[in-house]
Amino acid sequence: MREGPILLVHGGAGRYPEGQGEAALAGCEAAARRAWVLLRDGGTALDAVQAAVMALEDDPSFNAGTGSVLNSEGSVEMDASIMDGSTLTAGAVGAVGTVRNPVQLARMVLDEGHTVLRVGPAAETFARQQGLEAVSPEVHVTPRQKARWRQAHETVGCVALDRRGRLAAATSTGGLFDKPPGRVGDSSLIGCGTYADERGAVSCTGQGEVIIRAGLALRVLSALQADTGAEEAAQRVLRWLERRIGGEAGLILLSHRGERAVVHNAQGMAWCCIDAEGRLESGV
């Protein structure tokens, strides 16, 4: 397989209301193009996945950042994580509401290096200490979410392989609609919603509790072998998940060989890939 740079983005697995599938597809393509410029010009996989996920967080079509779903008290609590596969460093935040881009704060946790996961008000205090602007939680509440009452899993994520063969992954979400306050899902848990190492990079989406119980991201990478390609590994683990635990999930996987997989058992999942030749492919 051709090595990097390669970028793969997802907009979440779930049920898309009429017209939302097209909006999600357009958002994935725009985010992939923005991050691809970094990879094309020699940037790192880590910077690229952050850029892509920040673009998705800024797009109200997705349940991440702006457009996040509301919890049972009508407020927003967001989760995000990011991981560098070359160093196994990672950063994550959970249940934050006053930062514009949770994945940016997760990257700051990674760069600081003392902790991996920070949650709630303490994470927001850390954001202020790092110079991030405090925003009103209302910034993230769109009319679409105020009028919404359905379960969805529109987590967003990105995996990338750069020119030096480094892999990275990032994931961000507003979580489940009507969730109890303080609920943290898989998107902020390393090894569950996000993982990257020398074998590959994974970002997951779906029912967070199911993904946590499976340790899905790390389980997928553990299924990658010399004689097992990315697609086979991802499909094998998803079948195991359905048989052993049940539930709805999806994931994107990029191997160190440049192989990619987009798998899910939901009604749909928006995604976009830009390969080493700059060719774009996308779908829902």
- Pick left, alpha or beta for residue 56 (phi over 0 → left; psi -120 to 50 → alpha; otherwise beta): alpha
Q: What integer pLDDT is reported at residue 143 of this predicted model?
A: 56
66 found inside a domain? yes
Q: What integer pLDDT is reported at residue 138 of this predicted model?
A: 60
Closest-CA residue to 185 (of 155, 162, 160): 155
Annotated binding site for substrate: 183-186, 205-208
251 neighbors 211 (Cβ within 8 angstroms): no
pLDDT 10s digits, 18-71: 778 889 999 999 999 999 999 999 999 999 999 999 999 999 989 999 888 888
142 neighbors 127 (Cβ within 8 angstroms): no
Question: Average pLDDT, stretch 132-137?
Answer: 72
93 found inside a domain? yes
pLDDT 10s digits, 141-190: 555 554 443 444 579 999 999 999 999 999 999 988 878 888 999 999 99
Categorize the per-residue pLDDT at 139 as very low, low, confident or very high, splitting at 50, 70 and 90.
low
Annotated binding site: 183-186, 205-208
Q: What is the domain count for the chain?
A: 1
30 found inside a domain? yes
Q: How many other C-beta atoms can be found within 10 angstroms of the C-beta atom of residue 130?
A: 15
Task: Record the tokens describing residue 107, joined without a space.
Answer: 């990257």
pLDDT 10s digits, 78-118: 999 999 999 999 999 999 988 999 999 999 999 999 999 99
Q: How many other C-beta atoms can be found within 10 angstroms of the C-beta atom of residue 144?
A: 13
Q: What integer pLDDT is reported at residue 14 of this predicted model?
A: 83
Q: Which domain holds residue 17?
A: 6-283
1 found inside a domain? no
128 neighbors 142 (Cβ within 8 angstroms): no
Query: Of residues 44, 155, 171, 173, which has the active-site annotation?
Result: 155
**pLDDT at 136 exceeding the cut of 70:** no
Q: What integer pLDDT is reported at residue 150 of this predicted model?
A: 43
Catalytic, 98? Answer no
233: CATH: 3.60.20.30
Closest-CA residue to 63 (of 241, 71, 218): 71
Q: What integer pLDDT is reported at residue 149 of this predicted model?
A: 36
pLDDT 10s digits, 236-246: 999 999 999 99
pLDDT 10s digits, 207-216: 999 999 999 9
Q: What integer pLDDT is reported at residue 151 of this predicted model?
A: 43
Cα separation of 271 and 62, whole Å? 12
Cα separation of 264 and 249, whole Å? 6
